[in-house]
Chain A
């Protein structure tokens, strides 16, 4: 396609609904006590389906999306970061965590009013920062009940029954702990429903990402950030699972009718790790070259669940309900939840950068990429670890790579004009002009 022949494009019809779900999420959490409900806090990777068994009036706030929301508000983020530094925490820690802690220290909620104190903390240990995050939150809030599940059992291709047992036993302990700290009786039916929802929403998100293999891509990554985030808020909820099905149908319609994310698509890229949230205009800048990011392992694999399909391609993981599995009791639900989460693509690279490189090269091939933009994200040790190794692997596989340094949540470590200059050079070497 030449630049003179433009694809049809139009805004997503379900966009408004996505915004509404997110807004309701933060409002419901803040107002939970007014409705006699409970509030809990924990990471976006935590086993959020489990507290669902406490009742339908239990609302959560997940930490990373909240830290990212703060980052997008540069003025408030600066206040939060400075408050955290004033309290004595180092500037090179996870920037989501520093934004979050700052919000607690200042007692200011990013969506208005004082920071709504959670009733308990429900977390898992995915990285060094997550292991300490809520210990500090508990201290800052005057001592909150805090339960953490250790997930360090190795990559999914080496999974064994006793590794699943290790997680499931902690989950059983966790449910007893939840009953004790909340005084509520646990409802296994609600847990089972949440596990079904989580499997459905995360598999459907992968289906949506698969649709972006098509040329022209129906979605670009800046838009996808606003959509995948719903899974990071409450992947176990019926609201999100239903919304993702509606979104999938709309994206399929865009594919069927060649509705493109950008009209002048010529160059397909992927990014990596969290972007600098306060500077998503960088993705719009790509469009001047007819370039777009069609996603990333981060956007695809943090919420999406994947498996090898019979034709050798990467596709959505088959859900228990699609396999005709009926979940009958708590233990079975927990086993499925543990196994499902341990297969998360974004979890694998904690054990070896080569596992991540393999997945990235696979995306580059199947999504027909022309190049890769890697964010050396100084704000997240967990997802940035091994990224220079990934770069070498991608180059070996024949994909041009541009790197840029930044920080997902601390604007002081990102230089937009310099990064745009680097995009200019990268595009020029790939043969694209504004």
Chain B
């Protein structure tokens, strides 16, 4: 019996732990919502593109999962174990093996490339800035749906993003510049007439983004209170009536005024001292959805008016606080604007 136990234990130890990790399952659980079940993209960028898989190393994928892209939607997966991350990378890599003409995962040296960053800047401005932005901030919008025309399956990545710079080695960036990526606007710059030395200079310039602190695209709004609260000197009914006129005066459409517990209690028995006022500015909403299809979590715009311990409170969520959750710097301006609108509307209503 003891020998049998020892044998079973030894067999167990002989297999690496990660063999038991279900990469496909982990991918479904953590990645498929944004990147698509088969890596075709969605809110997130497509991962199964032939040329993408052939030009990024497993190390790049691993670091990207771990670090994410600050301010560019992709979150960091800090709670996954190394085995989990490896299993996901192997699952993604599996799409490459199924495609004709694909090769094994490339491996790039971690050695820095020497180049003239000043000369590289001039070359970058001429050849790369149109797609990647003057400061390497990348293309606008998220993923491949809702946010932009679908002429291309991928957005120009933000090259100045700390997550990208920490994940991509100089050699990997160089290889992409030399070969380009079929099926995307990224062309081979060797074929465009740049020399290897020119490309080294561009790589040196891209690497220099590390030293320019505070990339705008990597900005996350600072945290503050998650709720905007004001006290109204009026009754609940008067405050709601005042709020209604303020909403209309601010070019918002009034959607509905309802008790908080409507739908939870029998009709007619709702608490009239807890009222939700829903409104929407569809132009603003459309703009926000273009930037990030996930903003539904803010919707619809709502102000709560309720009586509490003899006071009338007027409250709403603070979009500025919630913006950090989306990890999308393009949303920052809209969230700040929305927070300001909420404060102005509430304060006007209780004047």
**A joins B in a complex:** no
Which residues in B have some Cβ–Cβ distance to A below 8 Å? none
Interface, chain A (partner B; CB < 8 A):
none
